[in-house]
């Protein structure tokens, strides 16, 4: 069995690993984008709620309404903080996945180049062998005038 065919198995495995890394990278990027969108929504809701409450509060509100407002605002602040923490973890995970993807891609390219180089060498060797055989045959055939 030719060396290039044996290495084809290694190339197939490297390609499978690279494709899996592609999927993980896409999923990780998607998680970060979703987390950023959720954080923006929470921050906007927090800001809108605070502004609307302050506008209503200008005309006067009861102490119970203030306590309810403060409790709700605290819950929103906690939700924003939790989302920021989750987004920070997702971003860190994305960086690790990028490093893994880059490693898998480089490994795939290196194996691919090696297989291509070996195929070229095998092709050149086969051409040399064929030329050698043709030369030997041409020497064995004697012209009729001798």
Domain boundaries, the chain: 3-140
pLDDT in tens, 40-63: 999 999 999 888 887 777 677 788
pLDDT at 24: 97
| Contact between 21 and 100 (Cβ < 8 Å) | yes
pLDDT in tens, 97-133: 999 999 999 999 999 999 999 999 999 999 999 998 8
- The DSSP letter of residue 58 is T
Helix 3-57 to helix 63-140 angle, to the nearest 10 degrees?
Answer: 160
pLDDT in tens, 10-19: 999 999 999 9
| Contact between 111 and 14 (Cβ < 8 Å) | yes
pLDDT at 138: 81
CA distance 9 to 144: 52
pLDDT at 143: 65
Q: How confident is the model at residue 90 (pLDDT cuts 50, 70, 90)?
A: very high
Please determine, for residue 25, whether its predicted confidence score (pLDDT) is greater than 60. yes
Where do we find the tokens 């069995």? Answer: 1
Helix (H/G/I), strand (E/B), else coil: 20: helix
Q: What is the CATH number of domain 3-140?
A: 1.10.287.1700
Query: Taking the model in full, what pTM does it have?
Result: 0.73
Q: How confident is the model at residue 146 (pLDDT cuts 50, 70, 90)?
A: low
Please determine, for residue 145, whether its predicted confidence score (pLDDT) is greater than 70. no
pLDDT at 34: 97
**Residue 118, C-beta contacts closer than 8 angstroms, at least 6 positions apart:** 3, 4, 7
pLDDT at 50: 86
């Amino acid at each position: 069995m030719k060396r290039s065919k044996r290495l084809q198995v290694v190339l197939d495995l490297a390609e499978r690993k690279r494709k899996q890394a592609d999927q993980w990278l896409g999923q990780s990027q998607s998680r970060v984008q979703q987390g950023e969108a959720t954080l923006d929504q929470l921050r906007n809701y927090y800001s809108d709620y605070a502004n609307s409450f302050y506008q209503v509060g200008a005309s006067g509100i009861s102490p119970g309404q203030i306590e309810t407002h403060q409790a709700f605002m605290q819950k929103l602040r906690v939700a924003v903080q939790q989302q920021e923490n989750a987004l920070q973890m997702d971003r860190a995970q994305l960086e690790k996945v990028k490093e893994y993807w880059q490693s898998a891609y480089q490994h795939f390219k290196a194996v691919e180049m090696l297989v291509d180089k070996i195929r070229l060498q095998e092709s050149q060797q086969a051409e040399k062998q064929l030329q050698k055989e043709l030369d030997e045959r041409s020497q064995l055939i004697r012209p009729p005038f001798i």
